[in-house]
Amino acid sequence: MAEGLGRTVLYRHRYGRVWGLGDRSSPVVRTPAFISTEDDDDACKDIAAFHCKQTRTIPARITISTHHSLIAPAFDRPGPNMEASVGHVLPPSLDEANAGESADSGPLLPVSWQRLHHDSSLLDEDLQPSIVVLLDAVQLAAQPGKLVKAIQTLKHRFPGALLWTPGLGGPDNVAVLAWFGVDLFDTSRVRLALSTGHLLTSYGPRLPVGDEKLDMEDALHHYHQVIRSVQSAIETGTLRRLAQQQSLNSPRLVEHMRYFDSLVRTKVDVLRTHPSGIDTIEFMAQESHLDPEVCAWIEFMTERYCVPEGLDHTLILLPCSERKPYRLSKSHRKFIEAIASNGCHEVMVTSPLGLVPRDLEDVWPAAFYDIPVTGDWTGDELERIQSMTQSLVQRHNYRCVINHSGVEIDLDGIEVIDTRQGESSGARTSLQRLKEAVNHSKQEYELRRRKGESVNMDRFKSISRYLYGRDGWLDGCRIRGKPPRWRIERDGKQVALWLFDRAGFAFSKEAISSLFEHEILPCIHLKSSIKWKGDLHLGIIESYDENIRRGQDLLVLQDEKPIGLARSLAPGWEWAGTPGRLAKMHQKI
């Protein structure tokens, strides 16, 4: 952590974060926040977290100061003040050229597209700035894909720094830029809009209406309200929805969102494995169907999902329901009654996730998504369902497919029985056809009913494979208790609880040795010299496994021996340098 600026993450959602600046117990500033410049009036400077001055020399020097007391650890005087040369900055189109004189490195780190390509000093592990300034952000925004690529690169390289994109932010794109990971915003575009007789609002520039004044006070009011909305959205996990709404202000913002989604899909350490405080993940618009959480689910189902042992003979495709998990809905209670067997493999057809097996209906995101239901399917949705079903069938040994979903499914070399025949899923005649199809399969393939404990064990093993990639820790275990809090025991001792609200297991101390033996969880290695007493932070960590997801259970090791469990508060991309708590202690031997 760079010396000087006291900061800690209060809330996080993907790359969007609310930083608390100052004393972590009572921060005086929260981001996203304003940074003022010499062109701003006193009203703007008063509400800004930082102030930036720039010389007219070549190369220019910038100084960032603050009137708040943000210097750790005492927080008893205004500061810190940071200064740096910006070096020679060439246009981003000349990315193969070396500008020669590079910018300074330190607590204040000016960066350009050229510097990212040519300055190897940025790879120095000791370089941990407090504020990173992307100098040519405005120019990068005009070139497809470059802005989000530069921002993501900086976030992963300097996760503990605040990011400023000078001249780019405004009330009409704060949510989008915060979604990308920008923390500080200036008023350059607000002042430009005022000079042309317009107010820049959350919906873009417009003429004043009624008693609105064309002045900085009204303009700052609009800006401030949007920033507060962004802070709230990060806290509640709804920032993507707000960013999608704002992206409609211009085609270029939609373009940036799409490029950003494609980049995040390549980064496992940005997503989460559990709700972690989010009640619902929303897929309200078609654009949200490109969300990396959706793509990660589809990739798992297509490439790695394995049907519980002995269930891959009869596949039943069912429609989804608004209520989650599906089995609690009225429609699915009717389906379950008509099927009257737990020896078939039930899979729900839905959008945008495509397919959700009954054995995974309790996990994130399958049990926590919300989508408007009209009964109509787009071509992309139908293609996704068809390809995922084809993959599921090809990787298993199904001999019969009973289709009660209402979506036409065409599979080569396997019998598909349509039990809907144009009727609603809950119609008495369609339910009767579903019942008859299952009875036919029982007789034809000698389906056997599973015991209740076997059903639960199959489900928990499937969930374990989804969460951890393997299920060996469940060998020799028994399932006890009743829903929704099932106990998992071995030799009469509890090793885990199933918690629906968490969409995951809560491991006990008894599970630690088995989790270590079967290499179930990502590992965190603590320094030998420390005595672990509480939460995990950079100061006590020697090394950690890659691709940690937010909310994930972690195995804590010291001197190569397991000493406890923790739960990740921060996704893996933050672990390289974010100050404050990264994981919370859960169990300690």
Strands (DSSP E) along 281-375, which ranges?
281-282, 314-319, 345-350, 354-357, 369-370
**Overall number of domains in the chain:** 3
Distance of alpha carbon 321 from alpha carbon 330, whole angstroms: 9
Whether residue 201 lies inside any domain: the answer is yes
Is the confidence at residue 378, as pLDDT, over 80? Answer: yes
**Domain CATH number, residue 473:** 2.30.130.10
- Domain termination site, one of 445, 478, 503: 445
Specify whether the CB–CB gap between 285 and 35 falls below 8 A.
no
Q: Are residues 59 and 195 in the same domain?
A: yes
Q: What is the model's pLDDT at position 99? A: 62
The amino acid present at 348, given as its one-letter code, is: M
Model pLDDT, residue 438: 96
Query: Cα(577)–Cα(574) distance, rounded to whole angstroms?
Result: 6
Question: What are φ and ψ of residue 402, in 5° steps?
Answer: -105, 115
Q: Are strands 314-319 and 400-403 parallel, antiparallel or unpaired?
A: parallel
pLDDT at 170 over 90: yes
Give the span between the Cα atoms of 25 and 48, in whole angstroms: 21
Which 3 state secondary structure label does DSSP give 218? Answer: helix
Beta strands 184-185; 33-36: pairing state? parallel
Say what angle helices 428-445 and 330-339 make with each other, to 10 degrees: 40
Determine the Cα–Cα distance for residues 322 and 302; give it in Å rounded to an integer: 24
Check if the beta carbon of residue 522 is closer than 8 Å to that of residue 548. Answer: yes
Residue 455 has pLDDT above 70, yes or no: yes
**What is this structure's pTM?**
0.93
Quote the radius of gyration of the chain (alpha carbons, Å). Answer: 27
Distance CA 523, CA 555 (A): 5
Q: Are 69 and 79 in contact (CB under 8 A)?
A: yes
CB 281 within 8 A of CB 370: yes
Neighbours of 41 (CB within 10 A): 14
Are 434 and 476 contained in the same domain?
A: no
Residue 1 clears pLDDT 50, i.e. is over it: no
Angle separating helix axes 239-247 and 216-236, nearest 10 degrees = 140
Indicate whether 419 belongs to any domain. Answer: yes
The tens digit of pLDDT for each residue in 261-309 reads: 999 999 989 999 999 888 789 898 888 898 999 999 999 999 999 999 9
Residue 69: name the closest of 125, 26, 121, 122 by CA: 26
Residue 68's nearest CA partner among 110, 37, 38, 35 is 35
Q: Compute CA distances 241 → 227, 246, 285, whole Å.
A: 15, 9, 9
Q: Are residues 217 and 134 in the same domain?
A: yes
Give tens-digit pLDDT for 385-417: 999 999 999 999 999 999 999 999 999 889 899
Per residue in 13-64, pLDDT (tens digit) is 999 999 999 999 999 999 999 999 999 999 899 999 999 999 999 899 999 9
Q: Give residues with Cβ within 8 angstroms of 24, minimum separation 6.
A: 6, 8, 580
In a domain, 293, yes or no: no
449 pLDDT higher than 90: no
Domain presence at residue 458: no
Residues 73 and 175 in one domain: yes
Together in a domain, 162 and 52: yes
Query: pLDDT > 70: what percent of the chain?
Result: 99
**CB 301, CB 462: distance < 8 Å:** no
Which of 378, 410, 445 is the C-terminal boundary of a domain? 445
428/471 same-domain check: no
Phi-psi region of 63 (alpha: psi -120 to 50; beta: other; left: phi over 0): beta
User: Burial level of 58, CB count in 10 A (0-12/13-18/19+)?
Assistant: exposed
Q: Which of 256, 104, 57, 69 shows the shortest CA–CA distance to 169? A: 256
Q: Are residues 33 and 180 in the same domain?
A: yes
Looking at the structure, tell me whether residues 25 and 66 fall in a common domain.
Answer: yes
| Helix (H/G/I), strand (E/B), else coil: 34 | strand
pLDDT at 446: 77
Give the Cα separation of 230 and 309 in Å (integer). Answer: 46
Q: Is the pLDDT confidence value at 251 over 60? A: yes
Question: Residues, the chain, total?
Answer: 589
Helix (H, G, I), strand (E, B) or coil at 589: coil
Q: Is the dihedral of CA 214, 215, 216, 218 positive or negative?
A: negative
Residue range 188-233, pLDDT digits in tens: 999 999 999 999 999 999 999 988 889 999 999 999 999 999 999 9
Q: Taking the CB of residue 426, how many other CB atoms lie within 10 A of it?
A: 13
pLDDT of residue 2: 41
Find out whether 134 and 140 touch, Cβ atoms under 8 Å.
Answer: yes
CB 343 within 8 A of CB 441: no
- Distances in whole angstroms, Cα of residue 522 to Cα of each of 18, 370, 467, 553: 26, 30, 11, 8
Q: Are residues 198 and 158 in the same domain?
A: yes
**pLDDT for 93:** 77
Last residue of a domain, one of 268, 289, 324: 268
pLDDT for 525-547, tens place per residue?
999 999 999 999 999 999 999 89
312 lies in the same domain as 387: yes
Q: What is the CATH number of the domain that holds 431?
A: 3.40.50.10630
Lowest mean pLDDT of 66-75, 83-92, 359-368, name the range: 83-92
Is there a domain that residue 559 lies in?
A: yes
Q: Letter for the amino acid at 474?
A: L
- pLDDT tens digit sequence for 479-521: 999 888 899 999 999 999 999 899 999 999 999 999 999 999 9
What's residue 100's pLDDT? 63
**Where is average pLDDT lowest: 2-11, 499-508, 556-565?**
2-11
Q: Tell me the backbone φ, ψ of residue 17, rounded to 5 degrees.
A: -140, 145
* Burial track 438-472 (b if 16+ CB lie within 10 A, e otherwise): beebbeeeebeebeeeebbbbbbbbbbbbbbeebe
Whether the pLDDT of residue 106 is over 80: the answer is yes
Instruction: Give the chain's mean pLDDT.
Output: 94
Is residue 299, in this structure, part of any structural domain at all?
A: no
Q: Could you list the residue range(s) of the whole structural domain that residue 514 is in?
A: 467-588
Residue bearing tokens 């033996």 = 517
Question: Is residue 165 domain-resident?
Answer: yes
Q: Which two tokens stand for residue 361?
A: 């209906």
| Same domain? 150 vs 23 | yes
> How many other C-beta atoms can be found within 10 angstroms of the C-beta atom of residue 3?
11
> What is the reported pLDDT for 430?
97
Has residue 49 been placed in a domain? yes
pLDDT band at 3 (very low <50, low <70, confident <90, very high): low
**Are 417 and 495 found together in one domain?**
no
